[in-house]
């Protein structure tokens, strides 16, 4: 008999008893593996970036940023996880889930409902290859139903054994250095997490003021202090960090650089 593929899962809930109860119920399914738990939106995003789970069991009502903020910030992933939303009473949210084929659990969670949920996850994950765009569309529609914008982005970097999420506006420069892609802020530099390439990062940051100055550098135009013509039709950019980092704009990209600056 063929063994079912493992389903990696993260549980997110600000109440420890609720996390413990759901973890216990999920432990009865041999193919479900809990790889992490989180008590807030921020810690959930770190866990998702680190573990890249198949599914996130996500509480909606949490102090500060709620579950929908977690979803919004994962939409830039190439292959976002599936989400199962947990809610005690929000009928409006439930209607949005049902309209967009996104699963949910009503608290307190019943064994029968959880059994059906896990079975649907198995079916969806079995045919998931290359369906990241479809998952994003489903989640975007849920966010729209909640009246939320899906325009949040973070740059995940590795620092001291942890995954740190940087706001795009704090990133001055991203540069390919050997086999790594390094992100620079005004205070430090760190390698991007998860084998990120410059091409993929450029795509994720398309809604933000980043410009591909050359094959190996992505510059935040908000942090350009000055620029000047350089040799052979190139331009030289000086950034506003303490070192006054200089980046060359290749000749073929000078026109696009000036256009982005409105020149």
Q: Which of 172, 159, 123, 132 is nearest to 52 (CA)?
A: 132
Residue at 158 is within a domain: no
Residue 169 token pair: 């506006």
What's the pLDDT band for 254 if we cut at 50, 70, 90? Answer: very high
Q: How many domains does the chain have?
A: 2
Contact criterion met (CB below 8 Å) for 258 and 228: no
Residue at 188 is within a domain: yes
Tell me: do 17 and 122 sit in the same domain.
Answer: yes
| Helix 132-145 × helix 91-99 angle, to 10° | 150
The predicted pLDDT at position 96 comes to 58
| Helix 132-145 × helix 67-74 angle, to 10° | 140
Domain boundary among 116, 145, 174: 145
Contact criterion met (CB below 8 Å) for 149 and 190: no
162-199 per-position pLDDT tens digit = 888 898 899 999 999 998 999 999 999 999 987 788 98
What is the residue range of 20's domain? 7-145
Q: Which of 236, 235, 228 is nearest to 254 (CA)?
A: 235
105-132 per-position pLDDT tens digit = 888 899 999 999 999 899 888 866 556 6
Tell me: do 129 and 175 sit in the same domain.
Answer: no
Residue at 75 is within a domain: yes
5-22 per-position pLDDT tens digit = 799 999 999 999 999 999
CATH number at residue 111: 3.40.50.2300
Tell me: do 14 and 93 sit in the same domain.
Answer: yes
Could you give the angle at the alpha carbon of 64 between the alpha carbons of 113 and 204, nearest 5°? Answer: 85
Domain boundary among 112, 145, 178: 145
Residue at 156 is within a domain: no
Residues near 179 by Cβ (< 8 Å), separated by ≥ 6? none
The predicted pLDDT at position 129 comes to 57
- Mean pLDDT of all residues in the chain? 85
Contact criterion met (CB below 8 Å) for 56 and 81: yes
The predicted pLDDT at position 245 comes to 95
Tell me: do 135 and 22 sit in the same domain.
Answer: yes
């Amino acid at each position: 008999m063929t063994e079912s593929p493992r389903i990696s899962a993260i549980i997110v809930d600000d109440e420890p008893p609720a996390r413990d109860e759901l973890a216990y119920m999920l432990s009865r399914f041999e193919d479900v593996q809990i790889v992490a738990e989180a008590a807030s939106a921020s810690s959930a995003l770190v866990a998702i970036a680190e573990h890249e789970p198949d599914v996130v069991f996500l509480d909606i009502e949490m102090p500060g940023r709620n579950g929908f903020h977690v979803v919004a910030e994962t939409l830039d992933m190439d292959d976002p996880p599936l989400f199962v939303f947990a809610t005690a009473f929000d009928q409006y949210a439930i209607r949005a889930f049902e309209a967009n084929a996104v699963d949910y659990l009503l608290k307190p969670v019943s064994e029968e409902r959880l059994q059906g949920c896990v079975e649907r996850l198995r079916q969806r994950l079995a045919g998931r290859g290359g369906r990241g765009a479809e998952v994003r569309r489903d989640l975007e529609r849920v966010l729209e139903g909640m009246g939320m914008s899906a325009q949040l982005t973070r740059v995940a970097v590795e620092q001291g054994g942890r995954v740190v999420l940087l706001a795009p506006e704090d990133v001055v420069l991203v540069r390919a250095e050997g086999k790594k892609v390094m992100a620079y802020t005004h205070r430090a530099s760190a390698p991007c997490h998860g084998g990120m390439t410059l091409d993929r990062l450029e795509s994720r940051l398309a809604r933000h003021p980043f410009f591909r100055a050359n094959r190996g550098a992505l510059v935040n135009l908000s942090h350009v202090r000055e620029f000047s013509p350089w040799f052979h039709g190139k331009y030289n950019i000086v950034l506003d960090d303490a070192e006054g980092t200089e980046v060359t704009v290749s000749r073929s990209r000078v026109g696009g650089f000036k256009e982005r600056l409105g020149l």
